[in-house]
Structure 1
């Protein structure tokens, strides 16, 4: 007897076994294809997600408040959005600011934002006229409008901007809803005329000048339907009052502030961006997000309040750091 014939080569390609020979040939062909594909693969290019737009119209909505109607230069449709969404608007100076979409989500021929003039950035927006070219990123949504049997909306001043599309959507669905809209005085409160066309019996306009003092949380929640989803946008004291009074009821509140929460008793710290090679010092009064965006302007973010998770960045250990609010030395995968 003779022993089994050993293959001529260790990979088995010398064996007369037809099946194995076929597998070896297929493997060799796959390796050649992979090598060729690797040589011809184009370099990875950064995706520019900015949308160039033109100011189609500007309108005075209240004292110190303008609305801008933004369209594509070629008139094409814009990306879809849902109530609560916002845009990142790049201003002529290069500054980026977030503004809620306050138009009609079903009409994608334009976007509408409304801006109260309260600082240098908003002054840039107010200086834009019809025909001005701008760019935006988004839409993004850190204030999503969820399905519910009933809604109780609370808006303060310019905080009506994300609430207005929600009110329209709730009305279109035939949902049970109520809006409490407060502000300094009627002249300063935008979109009062639009709200009057919806359902005046469901809207309570409550200017401070007509009541002497700002509304309390309990007053803003008066008449709330049982089990209603509460949506609130406006100044921090108003939101705080609503949240405190809702805590006793056990109801949840969806809210959006005008600006990031202030940094109180902050300490300076250092972050290392491992991939890009930057080492950055974050001052006591600034967030890591603000400092990082000076060297990486495309780093994503949305709410700037720590709850949406858009700006969360991994550390080498796998932890997620919310760079808009978390503070302390860290190495980040950026």
Structure 2
């Protein structure tokens, strides 16, 4: 028998960040704690991105309260499938793994958690004015980043192309890999032409150029040789190995971007990895703007997979009220510094 409790913990951005879905100033977050009869407890995080996550933030408090009561009554297995609530499934899986390992947030002990190795991570460039984006690029390059991911699709295209032109004048493709993320912002009719324009600047890949659910249009874009296409939002809500296989076969992307916090946790994300490897589709793992609780779990899981490509895990400094943790960015690598320890004092209601 387990006891489940939860608390809301809205995350506040250091500065408002721009995406094609709008400007984010705060992000909903809930922590779930699972406690066993032996007193050992594990902690997980539900990361919700409005307009992207399947869960509805306006109804979520009622739903999570009900689920925690069911777990406490023994009427629900914390590890049961929750296809309509992948963020909760991720949190519960994480909490159960944490509890199993002693409740010290060492879910996957490794050389990474010993502090002996880091994970290469892309630098994330948010949308904003040309000057703001250039300043972010300069900052990331000073830190030693060799891969940058730029959010595109919300600004005037000429401004975005000017930023890319400036970057390529300063840094060649041998010095800097550029990944783009449109978050589904482009119309299918214009996306092909835009790919051709952006391709002039030696772009490695573009995530989700058009909105999810337009399978035929996405398949045609993936045939365009200008820029390799990566699926991201397209994967959310696709359940079961056969449905996943069918989607990848239908669209045939170059890459898939894997966010365990939006895809239902590690076991279900692993299904995407196995299929991608089988079909020779590239992949990398990114956070879904989690706090350090969720980011820590994702980073530890990523390391034990043996990842070598740059992942998307450099989001720990986004919030003014993040949870103090051993995670630390150094250059372009994410490290776990065990001597730093955790400070969970901000999580007071569990």
Note whether the superposition's TM-score is higher than 0.5.
no
Q: Which has the larger radius of gyration?
A: 1
Greater relative contact order: 1 or 2 (C-alpha under 8 angstroms, separation 6 or more)? 2
Higher helix proportion, which one?
2
TM-score by length of 2: 0.31
Higher strand proportion, which one?
1
TM-score by length of 1: 0.32
